[in-house]
Amino acid sequence: MILLLILVIIVLTIFYTFLRLDKDNHVKENFESSKKKKINKPAKMKMEMSNKRNFIENILAYPNKQQYCPNLYNSRAKVWSRLPPKYGKGLFVKYNCTMCYYKIFRNIICFKNQGKYKICKMNKTDLDNLEKYFEEHKNKLDFVYKRSEFEKYIGNPILKYKYEGVYYPIQILKTKKDMDYKDIIDDDTYRTDFKCKKLKKKKVE
């Protein structure tokens, strides 16, 4: 009888010890998970350095950096090429791929600089439009619009994009003399033999 009692005590002791060890392991795992979550928190920084939701937001976030293509908002701009001489007058646009360049070039030529894309100079109305856009969407943005960063570019040549009936600046353009050693110029893609009759003007906003 005594031996049976001793055996039961030993079994209960072993079982209790096992439960304590298992509980300690769970506490340790939860602590490490919490620690990992805190380490992974800076993911927002990557988001702030990435492309935004459209052309307008890209220039709002990165004024005069020409980081993203004015035809593919989520693709990096890589090379510079000349814009139509009639409207561009020595100006270059930075884009991602040849097709992007041709779409911009063709739209400017075929719609006589009054289509979705337009070459002109930055003015105060542009800054007002950018500010209004920012105020309407700021709850969904991860950056702040600073008007002062754009005021110094008033009078500079820009490429605009027509969105909901309003022309917004989407890229500050350059001439050859404005380029530095990092800028890559591609003159081989330049062409003017676009057939405008295939474009339907009714679809232009």
Q: Which pTM value belongs to this model?
A: 0.73
Q: Is residue 69 part of a domain?
A: yes
> Is position 185 within any domain?
yes
112, part of any domain: yes
The answer to whether residue 56 sits within a structural domain is: yes
The token pair at 127 is 């800054």
User: For the chain, how many structural domains are there in total?
Assistant: 1
Whether residue 167 contacts residue 118, with contact meaning beta carbons closer than 8 Å, is answered with: yes
In a domain, 155, yes or no: yes
Name the pLDDT band for 47 (thresholds 50, 70, 90).
Answer: very low
**pLDDT classification of 50: cutoffs 50, 70, 90:** confident
Q: Which domain holds residue 173?
A: 52-190
For residue 141, tell me if it sits in a domain. yes
Residue 11 lies in a domain: no
**Which amino acid is present at 118?**
K
Which pLDDT band, with edges at 50, 70 and 90, does 66 fall under? very high
**Whether 81 contacts 103, CB under 8 Å:** no
Q: What is the 3-state secondary structure (H, E, C) of the chain?
A: CHHHHHHHHHHHHHHHHHHHHHHHHHHHHHHHHHHHHHHCCCHHHHHHCCCCCCHHHHHHHCCCCCCECCCCCCCECCEEEECCHHHHCCCEEEECCHHHHHHHHHHHHHCCCCCCEEEEECCHHHHHHHHHHHHHHHHHCCCCCCHHHHHCCCCCEEEEEEECCEEEEEEECECHHHCCCCCCECCCCCCCCCCHHHCCHHHCC
User: Given a cut of 70, is residue 201 above it in pLDDT?
Assistant: no
Give φ, ψ of 93 to 5 degrees: -115, 145
Structure confidence at residue 38 (pLDDT)? 41
Question: How confident is the model at residue 13, as a pLDDT?
Answer: 58
Residue 197 lies in a domain: no
Question: Does pLDDT of 204 surpass 60?
Answer: no
- The per-residue pLDDT for range 11-32, each reduced to its tens digit, is 565 555 444 444 444 433 232 3
